Amino acid sequence: MAKLKLATVWLGGCSGCHMSFLDLDEWLFELAHQVDLVYSPFMDAKQYPQEVDVALVEGAIANTDHWEMIHQVRDCTQYLIAFGDCAVTGNVTALRNILGTAEGVLERSYINLADLVPQIPAEEAIVPPLLDWVKPVHTVVPVDLYLPGCPPSPSRIKFVLEALLQGKRPQLEGRDQIKFG
């Protein structure tokens, strides 16, 4: 049987969900035998592949790069998992929404709170422009499974991946599996 093609994607998050993934420790060896990791911050793949079975998407949609990436991920992925609170609710990444638009956020960060030379970086094509509003993944593209938590515990991640490896749809319930935060 062909191995499951697994991708992990890092959008507007702190990478804590990916760190929690690494906390799977020795089970990662078992996982490595059962999946092909085809795209991830843990490996050097430049392009998101055309056919991916399962993608764990960490982070909210906060800038134009995230916006393009999440559409590409959705187009090429069978089963998309919103991985962690930023992907599910916006979480800390979305706290900047209180400041209103992207311009308001940049002004606050680079002008109002600047100690030295206050100026908004204007060089094009270096840092992707911020979206006005940080969005949870499911408000941009359809999501197949929500895996909340900041970060989701390794046991929760394992529970989901084990079910998918057995061809089952994971059913999350109770404090151990669906709690935010």
Partner 1 sequence: MAVKTLKIDDQLISARGDETILEAAAASGIHIPTLCNLQGVSLWGACRLCLVEVSGSSKLVAACVTPVAEGMVVQTQTKRLKHYRRMIVELLFAEGNHICSVCVSNHHCELQDLAIEMGIDHVRFTYQFPDRSVDISHPQFGVDHNRCVLCTRCIRVCDEIEGAHTWDMAGRGRNSRVITDLNQPWGEAESCTACGKCVNACPTGAIFRRGSTVAEMEHDRSQLEFISTARTRREWVQK
Residues engaged in binding partner 1 (CB under 8 A): 82, 85, 88-92, 94-95, 97-98, 136, 138-139, 143, 146, 148, 150, 172-175, 178-181
Q: How far is the CB of 6 from partner 1 (least distance, A)?
A: 21
**Nearer Cβ to partner 1, position 12 or 148?**
148
- Distances from the Cα of 87 to the Cαs of 34, 44, 151, 176, in angstroms? 26, 23, 11, 18
**Nearer Cβ to partner 1, position 35 or 82?**
82
Nearer to partner 1, 104 or 128 (CB): 104
Q: Minimum Å distance from CB 69 to partner 1?
A: 20
User: Kindly report the CA angle at 20 between 129 and 67, in degrees rounded to 5?
Assistant: 20
Q: Cβ closer to partner 1: 5 or 66?
A: 66
Min dist CB 37 to partner 1, Å, is 25
Nearer to partner 1, 21 or 39 (CB): 21
Q: How far is the CB of 141 from partner 1 (least distance, A)?
A: 13
Q: What letters, b where the CB count within 10 A reaches 16 and e where it falls short, cover 84-108?
A: bbbbbbbbbbbebbeeeebeebbbe
Minimum CB separation from partner 1 for residue 147, in Å? 8
